[in-house]
Amino acid sequence: MASSANSNPVPKLYRSVIEDVINEVRELFLDEGVDEQVLMELKTLWENKLMQSKAVEGFHTEEQAALQAAAHQQAQQAQQATQQAQAQQVLLPPQQQVTSWQSTRPTVTSAPQQQVIVQDPKILQHMSATGMSAAATAATLALPTGVSPYHQLITSQGNLSQNCYIKTADGQILQFVRAANGAQYIIQPQQQMVLQQQVLPQMQPGGVQAPVIQQVLAPLQGGHPQQTGVIIQPQQIVLTGNKVQQNAQVMQMPGQPGQVQQIQQQVQQVQQAQGGAAPGPPQQQAKQQPPMMLQVDGAGDTSSEDEDEEEEEYDEDEDEDKDKDGGEDGQVEEEPLNSEDDVSDEEDQELFDTENVVVCQYDKIHRSKNKWKFHLKDGIMNLNGRDYVFSKAIGDAEW
């Protein structure tokens, strides 16, 4: 094969670095008493960000194509299923489909991983065992495998990202959950999602219930008054928004009625903040608004201006009564003029925001008059959004 070009060394290099780091810090994690799960999650997060940045070419290209097709099909099926979805309780089967708990690498070569963020090594073994595509496997295993990590979920302060994510070709991150009735649900991050979680007061091995997913805004009040929790959208989890903090802590609390109300309020706040049309209780917050509205946008009203110009005596009275901000007639014309003073800066002056950076070490830097010569080594470059590496770089420039 004389025509084969040199393979890009970057993905392999990055892979090996990731492996080295993860293996080296495993001991550190264990010394601190941090579970192996967290280590795997770190690795997964790391790899996902690398893939998302698109700076590395061919990180998982061959698997990517196969997964895209599968993910698309799954996405369509799941969307149809979610439209039928109602608030349901999900009971996990006590037996799990995957038997062993080996902490193998999540990156199984045979199983595509590009678009399935697999948190659990058991999932991969299941994948290779049944021969299902990663997307389907993630869906089917999202709940059952949520059992054991769910234990740790509750005990280790809530690890929301234990569920499975799938990244479609659009770049959306969808969360897959499979209910007991066989329907598959997708949680789409753009839509406002309220997830109901069954939190058992007693943790029994066979009786853990996985999160229930609803695609549509669902009133928390109805249906499950006793045990209701809130799971924030996965997108918020990834972005670690403010709301995640509140609700991540919510998950830690066992489901008790008193705390449920707090959860409900938090959810309502979430809903309100996102402009959702949550029914009922949010009206309580609406009552807090004062009945009288102070006008703060200037006296540009057209209602009573005609009278003002004719009779000046009225101006003072009306101003005192209406309590507007200094709205003299003269300023009515000036304010629109003043508003033009703002100069809008273009923040993105370049099409590409990436600053091209080379991070390296220098062997020798030489200058003659204004001619510079660079002898560099061991560098990582990010040019036009893509990553490159070199062991040696020689350059010339005029100053």
Q: Which residues of this chain interact with other proteins, rule CB under 8 A? A: 5-6, 9, 13-14, 16-17, 20-21, 24-25, 28-29, 32, 34, 38, 41-42, 45-46, 49-50, 53, 55-56, 156-160, 238, 240, 244-245, 248, 355-363, 365, 372, 374, 376-384, 386-399
Q: How far is the CB of 198 from other proteins (least distance, A)?
A: 21
Task: Return the structure tokens found at 276.
Answer: 């959702």
Report which residue type is found at 377. K
Q: How far is the CB of 380 from other proteins (least distance, A)?
A: 5
Closest CA to 281 of 290, 268, 293: 268
Structure tokens at 243: 């709301």
Buried b (16+ CB within 10 A) or exposed e, 318-337: bbeeeebeebeeeebeeeee
Instruction: Kindly state the smallest distance separating residue 383's Cβ from other proteins, in Å.
Output: 5
Is the CB of residue 354 less than 8 Å from the CB of residue 384? yes
Shorter beta-carbon distance to other proteins: residue 151 or 377: 377
Rank residues 276 and 379 by Cβ distance to other proteins and give the closer one: 379
Alpha helix positions (H), 118-215: 121-130, 134-141, 147-155
Around Cβ 223, how many Cβ atoms within 10 Å? Answer: 15
Closest approach of other proteins to the CB of residue 164, in Å: 17
Per the CB < 8 A criterion, the answer to whether 134 and 126 are in contact is no
| Minimum CB distance to other proteins smaller for 217 or for 381 | 381
**CB closer to other proteins, 33 vs 182:** 33
Least distance (Å) between residue 382 CB and other proteins: 6
Pick 189 or 327: Cβ nearer other proteins:
189
CB of 123: closest distance to other proteins in angstroms?
19
Cα–Cα distance for residue pair 354/239, rounded to 1 Å:
20
The phi and psi torsions of 166 (rounded to 5 degrees) equal -130, 135
- Residue 186 phi, psi (nearest 5): -115, 135
